[in-house]
Amino acid sequence: MRTHSRVSRPSQQKLPHILRHAARVFSEKGYEGASIRDISRSSGVSLAGLYYYIESKQKLLYLIQIYTFKAVLERLEERLRGVADPVERLRVLIRNHLDYFLRHPIEMKVLSHEDEALEGEYRKEVLDIKRRYYDIALGIFEGMRREGLARRLNPRVAVLSLFGMMNWIYTWHRPGVDPRADALAETMVGMFLHGVVDGQKSLRVKPARVVRSRRLAAVRAAS
């Protein structure tokens, strides 16, 4: 049976080590089902050592979420500097998001599944940084609309649909089978901008009431 040696680590290395193992335990057992003792066993850090760095399971979940969102946001803001073209800004947003989360799928799962578990000030602080991230994406979409590059869709629906498409890749992405971050980002940019319909072909979508009316007529004719 594999055991974890309880080696002493410099403090600046030990906390990230603890958070990686906490994220793994939360992803496997869920926040409610996990215990500090589980995290101690997984990380090889004693209970006393864990409580030196964190005072509660809430604090662990908060640190996992805040560190992850800050890392994604800071990388995005840096990569967007000097990029003016709205479509290129969209590409940067999607590539940055996928690149980070494909390398941190466990944290991504915890963020997606434990979104409602934080409470009080911890929850407020995470929501504030998530709102900053959402506002950047919304600004990119509005920039595309000003340039005539996007239809007059509900901006909130458009942006949250984009995040929905990106955030659930951890449920199906398989390294070595599915595209890497850059190629996957290009696919998602194309789907977000143009859908999945071939622009060279004409597609006429009939209103639902017309479809229902024709089906009803066919049923009556057959009876």
Give me the pLDDT at residue 6, please: 39
Shared domain for 37 and 130, answered yes or no, is no
Residue 49 and residue 85 in one domain = no
Whether residue 65 sits in one domain with residue 43: no
Task: Give the three-class secondary structure for 207.
Answer: coil
CA distance 100 to 93: 11
Identify whether 200 is part of a domain.
no
> Which tokens hold the place of 202?
């004409």
Q: Which CATH number covers residue 42?
A: 1.10.10.60
* Residue 205 falls inside a structural domain: no
Q: Is residue 159 part of a domain?
A: yes
pLDDT at 152: 81
**What's the pTM value of the predicted model, to 2 decimals?**
0.80
Rounded to whole angstroms, the Cα distance separating 69 from 132 reads 10
Q: Are residues 129 and 26 in the same domain?
A: no
First-to-last C-alpha distance (Å) of the chain: 69
- In this structure, the answer to whether residues 87 and 149 fall within a common structural domain is yes
Is residue 213 assigned to a domain? Answer: no
Whether residue 45 is contained in a domain is answered as yes
Tell me, yes or no, whether 31 and 89 share the same domain: no
Q: Say whether both 12 and 122 belong to one domain.
A: no
- Indicate if 112 and 42 belong to the same structural domain: no
Domain assignment present for residue 47? The answer is yes
- In a shared domain, residues 152 and 67: yes
Residue 50 structural domain: 7-55
Distance CA 173, CA 161 (A): 18
Shared-domain flag, residues 103 and 119: yes
pLDDT tens for the chain, residues 1 to 223: 333 433 344 456 789 999 999 999 999 999 999 999 999 999 999 999 999 989 999 999 999 999 999 999 999 999 999 999 999 999 999 999 999 999 999 999 999 889 899 999 999 999 999 999 999 999 999 999 998 888 888 899 999 999 999 998 988 999 999 999 999 999 999 999 887 555 555 445 455 554 455 555 555 666 5
Domain shared by 14 and 86, yes or no: no
Distance of CA 99 to the CA centre of its chain: 11
Within the chain, residue ranges assigned H as helices are 11-29, 36-43, 47-53, 57-80, 86-103, 105-113, 120-146, 155-167, 181-194, 208-222
DSSP 206: P
Q: Is residue 183 part of a domain?
A: yes
Q: Angle at Cα 155 formed by Cα 62 and Cα 100, nearest 5°? A: 40
What CATH number is attached to the domain comprising 151? 1.10.357.10
pLDDT of residue 13: 75
Q: How many domains does the chain have?
A: 2
| Residue 211: inside a domain | no
d(CA 20, CA 25): 9
Determine contact, residues 57/100, Cβ cutoff 8 Å.
no
Judge if 106 and 169 occupy the same domain. yes
Cβ contacts of residue 111 below 8 Å, gap of 6+?
A: 64, 65, 68, 69, 167
pLDDT recorded at residue 211: 44
